[in-house]
Amino acid sequence: MDRISYKPFLSPLKLFFNVEISEKTPLKVENTTRLYEIDILPDETSFWTGNQRVKIIRRLNSINDLAHNVADAFMQQVSTTLHQITLKLGHNGMPIGIEQQNELWLNWLAIRANLADSFTGNWIDFALKEIDQKMLPGAAITNYIMEDLLLNEYFRAVYDAVFQQDTFTCKRTVHGLCPFPIKLNEKWLLQTSATGHLITFSGECENLMNITDFNNWLKKTGNQITEINSTGFYHIDHITGWCNAMESNYLLKGNNSYEKTLKIMVATNSLFITTIKPLQTLEE
């Protein structure tokens, strides 16, 4: 039985984080892409507990730079608050707490006032109130942030996994493919090389017929869910002990030509995000 050794986070890490979402029905195809620059910064480590604080800062790379695009401008300003998070990591590298909730709320109030003065329209007040509910300090904010796509994919308990003959099976909760979390049974395969550890994974959702939420969600498309699966890889650098490249692909299918895909990619500056491949990562 083998575990991947966790190394404390020592040096700043810059990443590209790309999310592609595609939804296809017999009538139309919709595609969405978002590219972020991510800075993960090490902070203080407690002498008594060994828990380390890590700050995550995200900047959205705007795909549409048109000055008159009010919705894009609004979301860019909101993201300056929503995408700066301070985590506390345990010995296994997993988030165990999110700090500075009150500071996050105060920052949001300042930006909220500017947004209310800068934008007009019936949608602005509703949008601000929706964000208020997610930004309020308290236990609920942790749940909202932990459902974030980056945290869900990047911090995936790889250091807790016990591999037997380079194989590990687990149940993972996935967010972002539909309005509610999905439970997947996944199988991980481990390869080790001079550059680090490569985990390739695949999984599927069981008991689809018993999940009424799916069929209620798909009711408007005339579909019933027939398949949900996942594939991807996760590479851990041998020097830093942290992930420097990963890709996750999720597929949801219905019985009436409905299909939704979610593709998530993370890479360092030395890897171009559109050409990440597992074998390239191992050979470099």
Which tens digit of pLDDT belongs to each residue from 220-245? 666 778 889 999 999 999 999 999 99
- Span 24-28, mean pLDDT? 84
Is 259 part of a structural domain of the chain? yes
Is 161 part of a structural domain of the chain? yes
Predicted TM-score (pTM) of the model is: 0.80
Q: Is 31 helix (H, G, I), strand (E, B) or coil?
A: strand
Q: Are 60 and 78 in contact (CB under 8 A)?
A: no
Q: What is the mean pLDDT of the chain?
A: 81
Q: Is the pLDDT of residue 165 over 90?
A: yes
Is 3 part of a structural domain of the chain? no
Is 4 part of a structural domain of the chain? no
Cα distances (angstroms) measured from residue 235 to each of 72, 146, 217, 238, 269: 33, 22, 34, 9, 15
Q: Of 19, 36, 40, 18, which is closest to residue 243 (Cα–Cα)?
A: 40
Overall number of domains in the chain: 1
Q: Is the pLDDT of residue 274 over 50?
A: no
Q: What's the confidence (pLDDT) of residue 57? A: 85
- 277/147: higher pLDDT: 147
Is 1 part of a structural domain of the chain? no
Q: What is the largest CA-CA distance in the chain?
A: 60
Is 257 part of a structural domain of the chain? yes
Is 60 part of a structural domain of the chain? yes
Is 8 part of a structural domain of the chain? no
Q: Please give the Cα distance from 236 to 278 (Å, whole number).
A: 11
Q: Is the pLDDT of residue 166 over 90?
A: yes
Q: Is the pLDDT of residue 250 over 90?
A: yes
Domain of 270, CATH number, reads 2.30.230
Q: How many CB atoms lie within 10 A of CB 168?
A: 21
Confidence at 273, pLDDT banded by 50, 70, 90: very low
- For 226, the domain range is 13-283
Q: What's the confidence (pLDDT) of residue 94? A: 86
Strands (E), the chain: 13-24, 29-45, 52-61, 84-89, 95-99, 167-174, 182-193, 196-204, 225-237, 243-254, 259-268
Give burial (CB, 10 Å; 0-12/13-18/19+) of 51. middle
Confidence at 51, pLDDT banded by 50, 70, 90: confident
Q: Is the pLDDT of residue 115 over 90?
A: no
